Amino acid sequence: MAHDDLIQELKRKLVHLTSIIIVLTYYYFGKQSVLLLLTVYLIVMLELEYFRLEWGKKLPLFHSLFRAKEADRLGGHVFFTIGSIIAVSVFSKDIASAAILMTTFGDTSAAIFGKAFGRTWISRLKNRAIEGCAAEFLVDIIIGAVFLQSWIAILVMAGTATFVETITDKMDDNLLIPLFSGFNGQLIVVLMTLLK
């Protein structure tokens, strides 16, 4: 991968790391506070996206961070915010937090590690290296271990997040990962509780 491409990818992924603010707000100020923060952020971002997409206005500083496929559609940050709002609203605090951080840190590790060290490319999948998938899965397991006590739930969430990130092409994985990994993790926790 070209050095400039890697630097551009790092800049994009640094924005993703703001997800830490979501989790910290949730833990220190509660569910209502984080939902309010996310909703206000979503409204502001949708207003900015309106001017970018409908009026063709370039956003200073942020315009260079958009991918080519986002030129005429909503940016991934909007989908991630929607996914985070749903995850916080529906799942337990620990499941939602793990799912949100798996979306950002898992995606970041897959993209950067895959682009920098990817040698074994997965056939029929666009720009997907086994090395990137392995890095994401490992990072997702670590995140899961921070928040969850059930190794089954950790492995299911990490596996779901990695799988969705790897195979998603047309839909936005920033929306799908927190919802699918969170749902599967919550389902495992509920089933294990019922089976006790």
Tell me: the pLDDT tens digits for 2-60?
Answer: 555 656 666 666 666 789 999 999 999 999 999 999 999 999 999 988 998 898 887 76
Q: What is the pTM of this model?
A: 0.88
pLDDT of residue 73: 81
pLDDT of residue 17: 73
The phi and psi torsions of 103 (rounded to 5 degrees) equal -60, -45
pLDDT of residue 111: 84
Tell me: the pLDDT tens digits for 92-124?
Answer: 999 999 999 999 999 889 888 887 887 888 887
Tell me: the pLDDT tens digits for 76-86?
Answer: 889 999 999 99
Q: How far is CA 190 from CA 50, 109, 177, 179, in A?
A: 40, 29, 19, 16
**Whether pLDDT at 70 is above 70:** no
Average pLDDT, the chain: 88
pLDDT of residue 1: 47
CA-wise closest residue to 100 among 150, 38, 40, 151: 38
Q: How far apart are CA 148 and CA 146, in angstroms?
A: 6
